[in-house]
Structure 1
Amino acid sequence: MKAGVVVLDCAEPEKLAEFYKELLDAEQTHESANRVEIRGADGIRLAFRRDVNATPPSWPRPENALQVHLDFVVEELDEVERRVIGLGGRALDTKDVTGIHEERGFADPAGHSFTLRLIPSTAPKQG
């Protein structure tokens, strides 16, 4: 058995696919009346399935709790955050996030949450 594709339900799969396609520098691999699939340069595969009754998750609030959560690793948080906001995403209030990695929470235009996690630098310190 092999892993398939992560599928996000949403009211407008074409619009959500475009958000992630731009964010991940991905290519569209499939489109039908109710589903759009993309594949990023690193091989990640995402699909967006039409569900006119889709309810966005409310994370970090407890009602309608987290339904799915995506983590993306980045080398520069501020630059990617500007890109997310420019594409229609929004920052989530995640002041209580703790852990060894610096990260920031966001929601895509349909309300699905995701995290940008900073890749720790492996370069030797200068100076």
Structure 2
Amino acid sequence: MALVDAGVVVLDCADPEALAAFYTELLGARETGVSPNRVEIRGADGFRMAFRRDANATPPSWPRPENSLQTHLEFVVTDLDEAERGIVGLGGRPVEAKDGPGPHEERGFSDPAGHPFTLRRSAVPAAPKQG
């Protein structure tokens, strides 16, 4: 039996409403709770995030070493180029060079408040052997 009922990834930021809007679009989520200092969202698959107001929030500096990574999110996508265009259109930004093609291609980004996250291309299934 689990000790907890659910987990929520919580990001501290200066403007929780704006950051919730970014992730709501990114994940196709919906708001499930709003208070003066916190906004919570839930994705269609049940993934939950919350954004907590912290006027003194300082984003991580990743990929630079000072104040480094602290933590990051990873999202799996089918089309990295399409996802990147969408993220940039929502106000996110790339933070490192693109990897070459491969089964585990990844790209780093930050959300509008500076929190890092990675897009990882879903592994391409191997073609069935012929003959």
TM-score by length of 2: 0.88
Task: Please name the residue that 1:45 is paired with.
Answer: 48
Task: Please name the residue that 1:56 is paired with.
Answer: 59
* 1:13 equivalent among 13, 16, 21: 16
Overall identity of the aligned pairs, in %: 69
User: 1:47-97 CA distances to partner (integer Å, 9 max, x unpaired)?
Assistant: 000000000100011111112200000011000000000000000024689
Report SS of the residue matched to 1:49.
strand
Give the Cα–Cα distance (whole angstroms) in 2 for the partners of residues 96 and 61 of structure 1.
18
Decide whether aligned partners of structure 1 residues 117 and 95 sit closer, same or farther in structure 2, where only a CA change above 3 A counts.
closer
Give the Cα–Cα distance (whole angstroms) in 2 for the partners of residues 41 and 33 of structure 1.
25
Task: Please name the residue that 1:124 is paired with.
Answer: 127
Q: Once superposed, what is the RMSD of the aligned Cα atoms? A: 2.0
Task: Spell out the pairing of 1:96-115 with structure 2 (5 A cutoff).
Answer: 101-115=104-118
Task: Please name the residue that 1:87 is paired with.
Answer: 90
User: 1:5-33 CA distances to partner (integer Å, 9 max, x unpaired)?
Assistant: 01000000000000000010000000000
Detail structure 1 runs of 4+ shifted over 3 Å in the superposition: 94-97
Contact 2:110 2:117 (8 Å CA) reproduced: yes
Q: Which runs of 5+ in 1 are unaligned?
A: none
Shift of 1:123: 6.5
Report SS of the residue matched to 1:59.
coil
Contact 2:98 2:107 (8 Å CA) reproduced: no
Contact 2:103 2:123 (8 Å CA) reproduced: no
Contact 1:60 1:94 (8 Å CA) reproduced: no
TM-score by length of 1: 0.90
Task: Please name the residue that 2:81 is paired with.
Answer: 78
